[in-house]
A and B are shown apart, each in its own frame.
Chain A
Amino acid sequence: MPGITREEVAHLARLARLELKAEELDHFAGQLDDIIGAVARVSEVADQDVPPTSHPLPLTNVMRADEVRPSLTPEQALSGAPAQEQQRFKVPQILGED
């Protein structure tokens, strides 16, 4: 199962929105191949009939009442914005659509 190619790394980087440089692709592909080779050991238990644990806590049903709490002020909300206009976050043109 293990083995990761440079092309796969490039695809993953696109999914993760990382504009990797060509030399990084080579570098990471080699390292990730090693790491994946090491972590692939988990598949030793793949066939075992063991329930998955996604979380260490046995808690369920943690909820809050539907009561309004104070929000940040718009100034606080926008305080870290790289750019703003009309009390909104200003972002470059959006290409995709959904």
Chain B
Amino acid sequence: MTTFTELLSYEDALASFDPVMGLEVHVELGTRTKMFCGCSTELGAEPNSQTCPVCLGLPGALPVVNEIGIESAIKIGLALNCEIAEWCRFARKNYFYPDMPKNFQTSQYDEPIAFNGFLDVQLEDGEIFRVEIERAHMEEDTGKSLHVGGATGRIHGASHSLLDYNRAGIPLIEIVTKPIEGAGERAPEVAKAYVAELREVIKALGVSEARMDKGQMRCDVNLSLRPSPEAPLGTRSETKNVNSLRSVERAARYEIQRHAAVLTSGGSIVQETRHFHEEDGSTTAGRIKDNAEDYRYFPEPDLVPVAPARTWVEELRGGLPEMPRTRRNRLREEWGVTEHDMQSILNAGAVDSIVATTEAGADPAAARKWWMGELARNANEQGVVVDELPITPAQVARVAALVAAGELNDKLARQVLEGVLAGEGTPDEVVEKRGLKVVSDEGALGAAVDEAIAGNAAIADKIRGGKVAAVGALVGAVMKTTRGQADAARVKELILERLGVSEG
């Protein structure tokens, strides 16, 4: 955007102000059908092919609640250590917008299904930061607009818009934090860590894939500054729809710097929505939130109250999976890795793949080594996450087994992985096709060793004379003639044997 915005340096901003954040995360549930009708939620359908009288808001149509929508909301509430309402209602949030068929959103207002919880998140250095949860409530998504006639599909300058209501009515859970105080300069990091952890929790619960890149999880970052932790809360800005973990951190950081610049120059913050720009990490002004905004909430008269039986809630609590942070700590201990390494594994999105590989029989260290080494590098190059690579944990486990059995060395193993990723077949097929077997034929190996000794007489003498460390050069020569297909340890043994030297 062209407007130039003054920013204060991050350090100066933090020197003068205490940031307070509020994070609102919308998660699209992975239910088969919409929240209030039986239309499919499958992605990628033709426009307006997954709509019905209910989600189109046709006159006379009525909503009926999806029970898995309620169940998912309760699970999320429980995982976030919330209380679950004994009795709550849906409410209508009234405002006009063409992507909202009824011109009210069926949501929850003062009676959310889950409230008063917290989520502990772990920062890069291992510190645990507790984020308090205000509420988690149920609502529905809107349709999608396509803006035509303007520049690059933007709403501004468009001549008209085209609406597809396939997404209208897909269940959303909105999770709202209490004001996050005391994070100080780590506020952006806390924001990112919170959204990352929340995403892990949602995925572990199996209620959504929570793919931020597909809009299944979206975050609004509310931020305000105050001169000191004792001062009253400042005016906040609401940066809408921040759609990646990195962006959450950048948006918070940018707003801290922008607010600080405005405040130190004697200006005041306007309560408004802001748009985040991926290209340069900036935000620009959106709609001003004035008092004209009046959603006229009232209890949705077309739905009856939701009163989850305590037995049901306890049953759901009992069925919750191990929470991601607990699981990570357990795995970290089992695998014997540092906090830092575990964080890298998490960042690479490789935890589940490593677990699955060990479950397929691989040693945890080997599983970690392949996923975090060769495969992480490959994923990085292709811009995907490791679990999207065309290789299964079982295949990785097979490669690890071949290495353990001495049939592959690391170099060959990397070639096998490369072959599998290239679609050449299973690890065994790649080994077969590419002829990637360690040369263990003692005769052939012996000839190569003799050749190396003969061709490097000076080095051989040094070794005979006790400089055993020089053996590396001869091993290298043998590996070269065997094109790497030899077991380096065995080669070393043979050389020392021939030269009549014993190790150590």
CA distance A61 to B89 in the complex (A): 10
Contact assessment for B294 and A86 in the assembled complex, using a CB-CB cutoff below 8 Å: no
Answer whether residue A43 sits at the interface, using C-beta atoms and an 8 A cutoff. no
Contact of A86 among B47, B65, B68 (CB under 8 A): B47
Cβ–Cβ < 8 Å partners of A60 in chain B: 87, 304-307
A72 to chain B minimum Cβ distance, whole angstroms, is 5
Contact of B304 among A62, A64, A98 (CB under 8 A): A62
Q: Closest B-chain residue to A85, C-beta based?
A: B162
List residues of B (140-168) whose CB comes within 8 Å of A's CBs: 145-149, 155, 158-165
Answer whether residue B39 sits at the interface, using C-beta atoms and an 8 A cutoff. yes
CA distance A14 to B273 in the complex (A): 21
List residues of B (21-42) whose CB comes within 8 Å of A's CBs: 31-33, 37-40
CA distance A96 to B103 in the complex (A): 14
Cβ–Cβ < 8 Å partners of B97 in chain A: 94, 96, 98
Contact assessment for B147 and A94 in the assembled complex, using a CB-CB cutoff below 8 Å: yes
Which of B48-56, B198-206, B440-448 forms contacts with chain A?
B48-56
Interface mask (A61-98 → B, CB under 8 Å = 1, otherwise 0): 11111111111111001101000011111111110111
Answer whether residue A55 sits at the interface, using C-beta atoms and an 8 A cutoff. yes
* 22 A–B contacts from the bound complex (CB under 8 Å): A54-B301, A55-B301, A61-B306, A64-B67, A66-B33, A67-B38, A69-B39, A69-B52, A71-B40, A71-B49, A77-B56, A87-B164, A89-B163, A90-B160, A93-B149, A94-B98, A94-B145, A97-B155, A97-B273, A98-B95, A98-B97, A98-B287
Known: A54-B301, A55-B301, A78-B48. A69 touches B38 (CB 8 A): yes
B222 to chain A minimum Cβ distance, whole angstroms, is 15
Contact of B33 among A57, A67, A94 (CB under 8 A): A67
Answer whether residue A46 sits at the interface, using C-beta atoms and an 8 A cutoff. no
A96 to chain B minimum Cβ distance, whole angstroms, is 7
Contact of B66 among A15, A64, A89 (CB under 8 A): A64
Number of A-B contacts (CB under 8 A): 139
Answer whether residue B473 sits at the interface, using C-beta atoms and an 8 A cutoff. no
Contact assessment for B301 and A71 in the assembled complex, using a CB-CB cutoff below 8 Å: no
Answer whether residue B64 sits at the interface, using C-beta atoms and an 8 A cutoff. yes
Contact assessment for B46 and A87 in the assembled complex, using a CB-CB cutoff below 8 Å: yes
Q: Closest A-chain residue to B51, C-beta based?
A: A77
Contact assessment for B162 and A89 in the assembled complex, using a CB-CB cutoff below 8 Å: yes
Interface mask (A40-66 → B, CB under 8 Å = 1, otherwise 0): 000000000000001101011111111
Answer whether residue B299 sits at the interface, using C-beta atoms and an 8 A cutoff. yes
Contact of B155 among A80, A87, A94 (CB under 8 A): A94
Cβ–Cβ < 8 Å partners of A21 in chain B: none
Interface mask (B156-189 → A, CB under 8 Å = 1, otherwise 0): 0011111111000000000000000000000000
**Which residues in B have some Cβ–Cβ distance to A below 8 Å?**
31-33, 37-40, 46-53, 56, 58, 64-70, 87, 89, 95-98, 145-149, 155, 158-165, 273, 286-287, 292, 294, 296, 298-299, 301, 303-308
Cβ–Cβ < 8 Å partners of A59 in chain B: 304
Contact assessment for B287 and A96 in the assembled complex, using a CB-CB cutoff below 8 Å: yes
CA distance A68 to B148 in the complex (A): 32
Known: A94-B145, A96-B97. A67 touches B87 (CB 8 A): no
Cβ–Cβ < 8 Å partners of A97 in chain B: 155, 273, 286-287
A86 to chain B minimum Cβ distance, whole angstroms, is 6
Contact assessment for A63 and B65 in the assembled complex, using a CB-CB cutoff below 8 Å: yes
Contact assessment for A72 and B162 in the assembled complex, using a CB-CB cutoff below 8 Å: no
Chain A CB within 10 Å, residue with most, of B56, B165, B296, B299: B56
A52 to chain B minimum Cβ distance, whole angstroms, is 9
Cβ–Cβ < 8 Å partners of A74 in chain B: 46-49, 51
Cβ–Cβ < 8 Å partners of A77 in chain B: 48-49, 51, 56, 165
- Ranked nearest first, the 5 interchain pairs of A and B with the lowest CB-CB distance are A69-B38, A88-B162, A63-B67, A66-B68, A89-B163
Q: Closest B-chain residue to A57, C-beta based?
A: B304
B154 to chain A minimum Cβ distance, whole angstroms, is 10
Chain A CB within 10 Å, residue with most, of B47, B159, B294, B303: B47
CA distance A87 to B50 in the complex (A): 12
Contact assessment for B67 and A65 in the assembled complex, using a CB-CB cutoff below 8 Å: yes
Known: A54-B301, A69-B39, A71-B49. A92 touches B65 (CB 8 A): no
Cβ–Cβ < 8 Å partners of A98 in chain B: 95, 97, 273, 287
Known: A63-B66, A63-B70, A64-B65. A91 touches B163 (CB 8 A): yes
Contact assessment for B53 and A72 in the assembled complex, using a CB-CB cutoff below 8 Å: yes
Contact assessment for A87 and B160 in the assembled complex, using a CB-CB cutoff below 8 Å: no
